[in-house]
Amino acid sequence: MNPFLALVARDLRLALRQGGDAAMVVGFFVLTVVLFPLGVGPEPELLQRIAPGVVWVTALLAALLSLERLFQADYEDGSLETLALLPLPLEAQVLAKCLAHWLVTGLPLIVVAPLLALLLQLDAAGYPALIASMALGTPTLSLIGAIGAALSLGARRGGVLLSLLVLPLYIPVLIFGVAAVESEIAGFGARPHLLLLAAFLVLALGLVPFAAAAALRLALE
């Protein structure tokens, strides 16, 4: 098997056998969104107004939740050291691990998001834009998170540090993800916002592997 695919397959297999991550991320996403109607009251107009923002903010926090484990387990058991000494460049391995992370956490979020939007009475016109913006935005979340996960390796209280590092970088994705849904509902079309989200994704695909791999090499020295 191609080494890149072998690494993706191994991370998927680990995630499925250990079970925790995907279930935890989706569970957190669902529970947190459900808290909003309970907290702000059941008025449909209000929920409808805040639905895109609530879904996006909680999806972002849910994605953050599983990031700490992205390299941590491999770092602790020595696998990362062995991975770093393979002929496959660490940069490509970062991409493989992000892809596996997105398949396990980002994809389930995209599947669940429309159901939660229904709960929040999202305007029917907003659904395609919501799914499209999450499909373009969540891979960027996984990628940006990889830099934070690599930088916080070996740090005490790495999870808190990771949130502080990564959340500010998530802001553009959040802004344009929400804007895509809202402008589609308002009748302006989501296209410009989706194009910007796609641009972020391309940028992250190009830059993240180098930044994260450099941080991993430092952690291993």
Partner 1 sequence: MPSPETSTAATFTGRQLACQRGERLIFRALDFALAPGGALILIGPNGSGKSSLLRLMAGLTPPAAGVLAWDGVDTREDRAAHRGRLHFIGHSDALKPVLSPRETLVFWAAMRGAAAEVPQALARFGLEGAADLPCRYLSAGQRRRLALARLTASSAPLWLLDEPLTSLDAEAATQLLAAIAAHRAGGGQIVLSTHAPVELADAARLSLADFRPAREGLLA
Stretch that binds partner 1, among 1-9, 21-29, 102-110, 146-154 (CB under 8 A): 1-9
Q: Judged by CB under 8 A, which of 34, 50, 65, 88 binds partner 1?
A: 88
Does the protein bind partner 1 through residue 83 (CB under 8 A)? yes
Provide, rounded to whole angstroms, the least separation between the CB of residue 213 and partner 1.
Answer: 12
| Residue selected from 84, 198, 199, 203 as contacting partner 1 according to rule CB under 8 A | 84
Q: Which is nearer to partner 1, 39 or 78 (CB)?
A: 78
Does the footprint of partner 1 cover residue 86 (CB under 8 A)? yes
Q: Which of residues 8-27 bind partner 1 (CB under 8 A)?
A: 10, 13-14, 17-18
CA distance 66 to 97: 13
Residue 87 main-chain phi, psi, to 5 deg: -60, -35
Q: How far is the CB of 86 from partner 1 (least distance, A)?
A: 5
Nearer to partner 1, 27 or 89 (CB): 89
What is the DSSP secondary structure assignment for residue 77, as one 8-state letter?
Answer: T
Phi/psi of residue 188, each to 5°?
A: -90, -15
Q: What DSSP string describes 63-120? A: HHHTTTHHHHHHHHTTHHHHHHTSSS-HHHHHHHHHHHHIIIIIHHHHHHHHHHHHHT
Q: What is the DSSP code string of 189-215?
A: -SHHHHHHHHHHHHHHHHHHHHHHHHH
> Where do contacts with partner 1 occur on this chain (CB under 8 A)?
1-3, 6-7, 10, 13-14, 17-18, 73, 77-79, 81-89, 220-221
